[in-house]
Amino acid sequence: MPNQERPYTSVPGKTYSLFAEGDDPERYYATIKRLADIFLQRCPGEKRLLDLIQEAEKKNWLRGLKTTKAERQTLRFIQRTLRESLSTYTRKVGEHLQSLPLAKRADSTLTTTEEQYHLYMLEIELVNRIYKEEFQRAAYKFALIAHCLRDYRPECRSEKGDIEAVCQGCTEDCFIRLGSVLLQKYGIDPYISIEIEQEGLFKKLKREHPSIGALGIACIPELARGMRLCIRTGIAPVGIPLNTNRCARWMSQAHETSFNLEELEKLLI
């Protein structure tokens, strides 16, 4: 595993932080895995549970949702348990929503509610469980890495690649370099996600590579939505959320963030 001695730097995010319980997001990952296991005891099957929470989110939870009494009870239990267990990671969501300028309230990513964050956290865990093996079997695998993971001290020297920019490894501590090295070790083409239109890209790649998998490293709302787009396109997705959201879209300027390298490698082996 690359750079094992490098500690993660605990920094605040605009709305969420996986550092809420310390200087390493390890406890977050243990928590979300434990919660998924608990929910699966009440709703057997990752795919059924994923469908249930996605449908509930579309219908604003229970209003207008056609489910059985048992499923409604399960959804209430999930809603309550997620709030009790994950609110420590999403403490700044309410403050962010209250301060959001009117001009930005049409942006569905920026207006993600705290409850949606909790659902997305669970959704990402379930998608990783469902599609991990299919992703690993794919003949062609690529990754899109959020540009805000770069080391902001020097000027980024990335160069244009086949899909997006490609890291040139100019600094040792850059999380884009660290992620790229690890991904290449497992035969995955890494690209820096900057401004490409994802739906068109995914459709093009699916035509070129019928057996294909995608790995995303992005903030929680964008990762969950990117995974959904992959599934609709017929691409097997997995992903790792950023430890915090600190790019210029969320803040007045971009700030460096990180992601968990150990969890990334668990997806690849």
Kindly write down the DSSP assignment for every residue of 131-146, as one continuous string. HHHHHHH-SEEEEEEE
252 phi and psi, to 5 degrees?
-70, -25
Cα–Cα distance for residue pair 89/21, rounded to 1 Å: 8
Per-residue pLDDT at 216: 97
Q: Which of 240, 267, 241, 238 is nearest to 127 (CA)?
A: 238
Cα–Cα distance for residue pair 130/238, rounded to 1 Å: 9
Cα–Cα distance for residue pair 149/28, rounded to 1 Å: 20
Per-residue pLDDT at 1: 44
Chain position carrying tokens 């939505």: 225
Tens-binned pLDDT, residue by residue, of the chain (269 aa): 444 455 578 888 999 999 986 778 999 999 999 999 999 999 889 999 999 888 877 756 555 556 678 888 888 899 999 999 999 999 999 999 999 999 899 999 999 999 999 999 999 999 999 999 999 999 999 999 998 888 777 677 766 767 776 777 778 888 999 999 999 999 999 998 876 788 888 999 999 999 999 999 999 999 999 999 999 999 999 999 999 999 988 988 888 899 999 999 999 99
Per-residue pLDDT at 184: 94
Cα–Cα distance for residue pair 17/93, rounded to 1 Å: 10
Per-residue pLDDT at 4: 46
Q: Which of 157, 154, 142 is nearest to 237 (CA)?
A: 142
Residues 149 and 176 sit within 8 Å (Cβ to Cβ): yes
112 phi and psi, to 5 degrees?
-60, 125
Per-residue pLDDT at 198: 86
190 phi and psi, to 5 degrees?
-95, 140
- Label residue 77 exposed, middle or buried (CB < 10 Å: 0-12, 13-18, 19+): middle
192 phi and psi, to 5 degrees?
-90, 120
Per-residue pLDDT at 66: 62
Q: In Å, what is the CA distance from 155 to each residue of 151, 158, 160, 167, 248?
A: 8, 9, 15, 12, 17
Per-residue pLDDT at 162: 75
